[in-house]
Amino acid sequence: MTTPSDPASLDVLRQRLAAVASLDAAALAAEEIAVLGRKQGELTHQLKALATLALDEKRARGAALNALKLEFEAAVVARRAELAHAASAAEARDIDLTMPGRQLWVGTRHPVTVVIDEIVAIFREIGFAVALGPEIENEERNFGALNFPPDHPALDMHDTLYLDPRGAEWPVGERLLLRTHTSPVQVRVMRAGPPPYRVVIPGLAYRNDPFDASHAPAFAQIEGLAVDEGVTFVDLKATLTHFARRFFRPDVKVRFRPSFFPFTEPSAEMDVSCAICGGIGCAACKGTGWMEILGGGMVHENVLRNCDVDPERYTGFAFGMGPARMAMLRYGLPDIRLLYGGDMRFLSQFGAAGR
């Protein structure tokens, strides 16, 4: 430290003042304390020492020191602002505005879900409610109540996924299985209360099938059930024709072919004119111009009886369709594994479009 009266001490302070403009942030902080600090600061020290000087010397030196102090303070503030500015400029330089953005992962609905929602919406418009049931069922609801004879081949472990392979030990009808269709929910709906019923039942079904172009071991179904007084086959045809026109296009042609299911009598399969070729005949419809989209029929009187519904008073129709198949027909997909294979590159193309 210089002595108070030493004129050189002012020069030293002026030199330090001049140097402020080139200090870095840490040095600036240290220099501020070293010069202006209230206890140890050099300038503070010099100002305090004025008290020991003669009056005229005190006045001149005091004025000079005070001017220097103001300048020093201003220089520190200016340098600090400069450093802050430089820091944010450097930070800005670190942002590469040409770098591609990070892609946000936005989930999309599965194409089969898109189709299910759409089918359900069409039936809701005409007064159907949604009913749901469990994927684990017993043999009685999956088969027995639905009028399958006990020796029906569907009951074979070859086709049905039983949950307990020692199933023979279970009482007949109580063996647990993965439902092979959504039809057992018909039974649940009818047993839950008296008619009328007007429901659609979306859900998964399971079969012991190989995963190939047209089969999946787990697949979606949509069941329909309408039971009331005076329901006829005309209602079935009108309802399903309306559905096909809404789902495909207003000018789609439909035809019903006789078929068989244990739980409907009579039974039918419905075809629509090929969505790909418009009915001319192509690979998708195997040259026939028609594509089968669902099975249905009038609820068998045994089924009504098994579910405590009086067949003398009530009649009804039921139908079942595979939304994956509907999606394949609509989008012209050749292989069900595209839908149930879990390849996001394929699946994410559909859901985003929504309805």
Contacts to ligand PHE by CB under 6 A:
181, 183, 223, 261, 264, 295-297, 318-320
For residues 45 and 52, the answer to whether their CB atoms sit within 8 Å is no
Q: How many helices (H) and strands (E) does the chain have?
A: 12, 9
| Closest to ligand PHE by CB, 59 or 255 | 255
Sheet with 129-130: list strands edge to edge. Answer: 129-130, 197-206, 218-228, 315-321, 290-299, 264-273, 254-261
- Shortest spacing between CB 317 and ligand PHE, in angstroms: 8
Please give the residue whose beta carbon sits closest to ligand PHE in the complex: 320
Q: Which is nearer to ligand PHE, 141 or 181 (CB)?
A: 181
Measured from the CB of residue 181, what is the shortest distance to ligand PHE in angstroms? Answer: 3
Residue 277 CB, nearest approach to ligand PHE (Å): 26
**What amino acid occupies position 5?**
S
Report d(CA 57, CA 103) in Å as an integer: 73
Tell me whether residue 113 or residue 259 sits nearer to ligand PHE (CB atom).
Answer: 259
- Closest to ligand PHE by CB, 119 or 347: 119
CA distance 141 to 159: 17
Q: Which C-beta is closer to ligand PHE: that of 20 or that of 339?
A: 339
Report how far residue 296's alpha carbon sits from residue 221's, in angstroms, rounded to the nearest whole number: 13
Paired strand residues for 264: 261, 299
Contact 339, 327 (CB under 8 A): yes
Q: Which is nearer to ligand PHE, 41 or 297 (CB)?
A: 297
Nearer to ligand PHE, 248 or 263 (CB): 263
Asked whether 36 and 44 are in contact (CB, 8 A), the reply is yes
Spatial distance between the Cα atoms of 59 and 345, rounded to a whole number of angstroms: 85
Structure tokens at 137: 């069922």
The strand pairing partners of 176, in sequence order, are 138
Is the alpha carbon torsion for 188, 189, 195, 197 positive or negative?
negative
